């Protein structure tokens, strides 16, 4: 079945550093979504991208929909402790179902 390759699997960063993660696919998607999941909670939508080449920001988060429609990246600027969690990319199919990446676990070094 369809799969998304999300990298890196985990990141150890210092507070204040910028973070970058990405997802690639062999398939084309019409919509890319980025979610964050905190322990014990369901995923929360951070950014939705609807057009190839689109660059969208949400506070310190910036995400881009790749021009080939097969990839997307998420950047977090000036990370803070509450950014810790697992970030998932998801590509949305025409029937609105989501294909999920395996997640990027963000850990901030004390």
Listed in order, strand segments (DSSP E) in 8-103 are: 10-14, 19-25, 31-37, 44-49, 55-58, 61-65, 71-76, 85-92, 98-100
Beta carbon nearer to another protein, 17 or 62: 62
Residues that bind another protein (CB under 8 A): 31, 33, 40-45, 48, 50, 88, 90, 92, 95-98, 100-103
The minimum distance between CB 31 and another protein, in angstroms, equals: 6
In the numeric block, which tokens belong to residue 29? 């998607």
Nearer to another protein, 3 or 17 (CB): 3
Task: State the minimum distance, in angstroms, from the CB of residue 71 to another protein.
Answer: 17
Cα-based distances in Å from 99 to 24, 102, 109 = 12, 10, 31
Nearer to another protein, 66 or 101 (CB): 101
């Amino acid at each position: 079945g369809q799969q998304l390759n999300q990298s890196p699997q985990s990141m150890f960063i210092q507070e204040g550093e910028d973070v970058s993660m990405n997802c690639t696919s062999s398939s084309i998607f019409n919509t890319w979504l980025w979610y964050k999941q905190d322990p014990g909670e369901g995923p929360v939508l951070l950014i939705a991208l609807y057009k190839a080449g689109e660059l969208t920001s949400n506070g310190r988060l910036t995400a881009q929909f790749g021009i080939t429609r097969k990839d997307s990246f998420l950047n977090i600027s000036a990370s803070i402790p509450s950014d810790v969690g697992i970030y998932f990319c998801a590509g949305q199919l025409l029937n609105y179902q989501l294909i999920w990446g395996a997640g990027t676990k963000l850990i901030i070094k004390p």
